Amino acid sequence: MSTKTTRVLVLVCSTRPGALGPAVGEWLIDAIAPRAAELGVELVPVALGDLALPFLDEEEHPSSGVYRQEHTKRWSAMVDAADGFIAVTPEYNYGMPATFKNALDYLGREWAWKPMGFVSYGNTSAGTRAVQHAKQVVTALRMVPLGATVALRIADTVENGRLRPDAARDSAAAGILDELVGLAHGLRPMRERIRSTPGPLPGSYVRELTPDDAAEVLVLQRCCWVDEAQANDTLDISALRESLEQVRAWLGAWQGTGLWRDGRLLGMVRTRRAGDYWHVGRLGVAPDLRGQGVGRWLLRRAEAAADADCRRVVLSTGAGSRHNLALYHAEGYRTESSDGATASLVKPTPAGAAVGEPAGVV
């Protein structure tokens, strides 16, 4: 399971003055906050009435992602940053409120592959028909509605405008959060894939690495650099000795690129500029995927990211890492120096070649 914080929007859907929705939303937040803290979940309450969304007023279709109205842009940013949702909704005439349907209709891609849970309230049916109506809509948006719900019959639940204490109801609400978080983690690769650049392997995609990826990077480093330790007869290799916090620190200082598939980090590389040199490092590919051109593909992508005025691409590897050296030499690198333990390699960029930058000698 991912170590990233999960952001859940709690949507209070009724905008009617004096509605019960705010009281239900307040109860829900209070009931699930302890479990949210245990799961590392950020709860964000959102009252649809505060969004001031008029009936859909964008000229372009929501699937285009082209928004001209500021209220749409704000709503898009909120939904896009979320990993899942819990809708607190009443039932109006066997259906969900028009304000809820309108808020859903405003957007497209932002909803895709995210779970939505429901807390409903009403009289005879406790709002369950509103939930059934909403489930049809959210599935059309490629969302995943939860099976777990909480349905509140107003006459049995509310006293003086507030919800009566009920431990069983609180436990059921925590169950919604548990299911929501599990689905949010499971669907994360689907969300990332539709927003990322396709990779060289079927079903793979590329995205920037962030400090939140430290755990996955740490595991991949230790898998990849064991071979380096054997080839160079040493365990004194940074990638094998770094702590989680050290990995998180360099992920914040370098530009990292990760190749992913189904939530698994398959390969990575990091780059950064120093003067007029472009440094490439931590090029690693999962051991079971070597020999398929993934390392070469990541290396070329790293080189292509160099600033236009950089003169050299520089990198290093173990002096005894014959496989790595063969790859780098085949890609135009030359060994500039070696201290017996580490080989430093360079390759002129187009800017460097234009001014006759020496490539070094093997």
Segment 251-273, tens digit of pLDDT: 999 999 999 999 899 999 999 99
* Rounded mean pLDDT, 276-289: 95
The rounded mean pLDDT for the chain is 93
Return the number of other C-beta atoms located less than 10 Å from residue 6's C-beta. Answer: 22
* Rounded mean pLDDT, 114-142: 96
Q: Is the pLDDT of residue 123 over 60?
A: yes
- What are the backbone dihedrals phi and psi of residue 318, each rounded to the nearest 5 degrees, phi first? -65, 140
Within 8 A by CB and 6+ apart from 36, the residues are 8, 42, 43, 177
Within 8 A by CB and 6+ apart from 231, the residues are 318, 320, 321, 322, 323
Angstrom distance (rounded) from CA 208 to CA 210? 6
Residue 315 lies in a domain: yes
Instruction: Look at the chain and report how many structural domains it folds into.
Output: 2
Label residue 348 by pLDDT band (50, 70, 90). Answer: very high
Angstrom distance (rounded) from CA 116 to CA 98? 18
Domain housing 168: 6-188
Residue 362 lies in a domain: no
* Rounded mean pLDDT, 230-249: 92
Residue 78 lies in a domain: yes
180 lies in the same domain as 154? yes
Angstrom distance (rounded) from CA 161 to CA 167? 19
Domain's final residue, options 188, 218, 251: 188
Domain's final residue, options 159, 188, 217: 188
pLDDT in tens, 318-342: 999 999 999 999 999 999 988 888 9
Which alpha helices (H) appear in the chain, and where do they start and end?
21-39, 48-51, 70-80, 98-105, 128-140, 154-157, 167-195, 214-232, 238-241, 244-253, 294-304, 322-330, 350-354
Residue 200 lies in a domain: no
- What are the backbone dihedrals phi and psi of residue 299, each rounded to the nearest 5 degrees, phi first? -60, -45
Residue 139 lies in a domain: yes
Label residue 249 by pLDDT band (50, 70, 90). Answer: very high
295 lies in the same domain as 174? no
